[in-house]
């Protein structure tokens, strides 16, 4: 069977078709505008799949779709996605009816973690935790090349661990979620509150202004605190970072120093590294999930 992996993001959709031996047969990416709503996204998705399959018979293809959020086991509706027009919609059923194919839906951070554990920076490790530091903050846990989802499908969602129950409000309804401190949007909101200026997380990281320096250090302390908390629960062999902020070199110097400050062990054998697959982890991870029906 061929495997089709689809990475459904807020601003783009990417698809990859793999042969049985893992060879890449076709790969395409198209832009989407989440603000135009779900029908637009589904129309773009259908077009993309036609382009990638190029006549390959659908009955010979297993499909995995990676998306932020997860399907509620209670209602069958997507929840917890930061592409909010997808929330509270029966995404799996809608995609299946558009494509005329059965699909497996997987959380995007789980796709990242699985791809990195099987093919990327964690391929020689046993307990792998993948962290996406992008607009939001997602996580996925893979043990012995198997993604652990848990009975509620929320395993790895450490971005919504609260580090202050009276802290910053989060879109999920709680306060003090780690995501509001260490995601790109969290850093940008903090910078705006402090300075009245709007700058992207990337611009803040490359700025040498006093205000940016103070907030970067504050960011690194929250990052260290959050990752050390994570390690005291799972004690992973490796933590692999993805998403826009994973490109920042300070994460692997000051950030690791801050992790060690809060670490619950005198030795730190855990590796903290940048991803090995770059942008490709989303589609490869989705393709790896394609043989799991349900979820």
Quick one: which of 8, 131, 141, 177 contacts Zn ion (CB under 5 A)? Answer: 177
**In angstroms, what is the minimal distance from the CB of 175 to Zn ion?**
8
Position 172 contacts Zn ion (CB under 5 A) = yes
- State which residue, 82 or 290, has the beta carbon closest to Zn ion: 82
- Shortest approach of Zn ion to residue 81 CB, angstroms? 13
What does the buried/exposed string (b/e) look like for 76-110 if buried means 16 or more CB atoms within 10 Å of the residue's CB?
ebbbbbbbebbbebebbebbbebbebebbbbbbbb
Query: Between 160 and 190, whose beta carbon lies closer to Zn ion?
Result: 160
In the complex with Zn ion, the residue whose CB is nearer, 37 or 169, is 169
Letters for 106-135 (x = contact with Zn ion by CB under 5 A, - = none) are ------------------------------
We find the least distance from the C-beta atom of residue 154 to Zn ion, in angstroms, to be 12
Instruction: Quote the tokens at residue 185.
Output: 């949007």
Helix (H, G, I), strand (E, B) or coil at 54: coil
Min separation Cβ 12 and Zn ion, Å: 24
Residue placing its CB nearer to Zn ion in the complex, 107 or 281 = 107
Smallest gap, in angstroms, from Cβ of residue 177 to Zn ion?
3
Give me the torsion for CA of 230, 266, 117, 255, rounded to 10°. 70
Which residue from 44, 92, 149, 160 is in contact with Zn ion, where contact means CB under 5 A? 160
Rule CB under 5 A: choose which of 170, 178, 227, 256 binds Zn ion: 170
Q: What's the token pair of residue 62? A: 């297993």
Nearest to 78 by CA among 108, 86, 160, 153: 86
Looking at the Cβ atoms of 149 and 160, the one nearer to Zn ion is 160
CB of 291 to Zn ion, least distance (A): 31
* Cβ within 8 Å of residue 50, ≥6 positions away: none
Residue 62, beta-bridge partner list: 3
Least distance in Å: CB of 180 to Zn ion?
7
Compare residues 166 and 208 and give the one whose CB is closer to Zn ion: 166
* Cα 278 off chain centre by: 12
Distance in Å, CB of 114 to Zn ion, minimum: 23
Question: Measured between alpha carbons, how far is 194 from 237 in angstroms, rounded to an integer?
Answer: 37
How far apart are alpha carbons 216 and 168 in whole angstroms? 17
The number of residues that bind Zn ion (CB under 5 A) is: 5
Phi, psi angles (nearest 5°) of residue 45: -60, -45
Please choose, out of 21-29, 159-167, 181-189, 279-287, the segment that lies near Zn ion by the rule CB under 5 A: 159-167
Tokens of 287: 């393709």
Minimum CB distance to Zn ion smaller for 25 or for 172:
172
Applying CB under 5 A, the span of 168-176, 193-201, 211-219, 239-247 interacting with Zn ion comes to 168-176
Structure tokens at 221: 């302390």
Burial class (CB in 10 A: 0-12, 13-18, 19+), 41: buried
- Helix residue ranges, H only, 100-171: 108-119
Q: Name the residues that contact Zn ion, by CB under 5 A.
A: 160, 170, 172, 174, 177
């Amino acid at each position: 069977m061929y495997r089709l992996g689809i990475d459904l993001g807020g601003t783009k959709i990417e698809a990859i078709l793999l042969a049985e031996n893992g060879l890449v047969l076709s790969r395409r990416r198209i832009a989407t505008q989440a603000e135009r709503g779900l029908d637009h996204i589904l129309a773009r998705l259908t077009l993309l799949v036609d382009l990638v399959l190029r006549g390959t018979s659908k009955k010979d293809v297993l499909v995995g779709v990676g998306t932020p959020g997860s399907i509620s086991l209670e209602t069958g509706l997507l929840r917890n996605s930061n592409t909010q027009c997808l929330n509270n919609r029966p995404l799996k059923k809608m995609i299946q009816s558009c494509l005329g194919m059965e699909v497996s839906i997987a959380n995007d951070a789980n796709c990242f973690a699985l791809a990195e554990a099987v093919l990327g920076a964690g391929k020689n490790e046993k307990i792998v935790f993948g962290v996406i530091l992008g607009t939001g903050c997602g996580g996925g846990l893979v043990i012995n090349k198997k993604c652990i989802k848990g009975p509620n499908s929320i395993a790895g969602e450490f971005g919504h661990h609260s580090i202050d129950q009276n802290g910053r409000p989060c879109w999920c309804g709680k306060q003090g979620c780690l995501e509001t401190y260490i995601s790109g949007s969290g850093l940008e909101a903090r910078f705006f509150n402090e300075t009245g200026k709007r700058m992207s997380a990337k611009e803040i990281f490359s700025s040498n202004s006093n205000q940016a320096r103070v907030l970067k250090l504050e960011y690194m302390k929250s990052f260290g605190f959050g990752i050390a908390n994570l390690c005291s629960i799972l004690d992973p062999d490796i933590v692999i970072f993805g998403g826009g902020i994973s490109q920042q070199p300070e994460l692997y110097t000051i950030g690791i120093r801050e992790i060690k400050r809060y670490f619950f062990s005198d030795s730190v054998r855990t590796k903290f590294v940048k991803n090995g697959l770059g942008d490709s982890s989303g589609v490869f991870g989705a393709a790896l999930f394609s043989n799991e029906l349900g979820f």
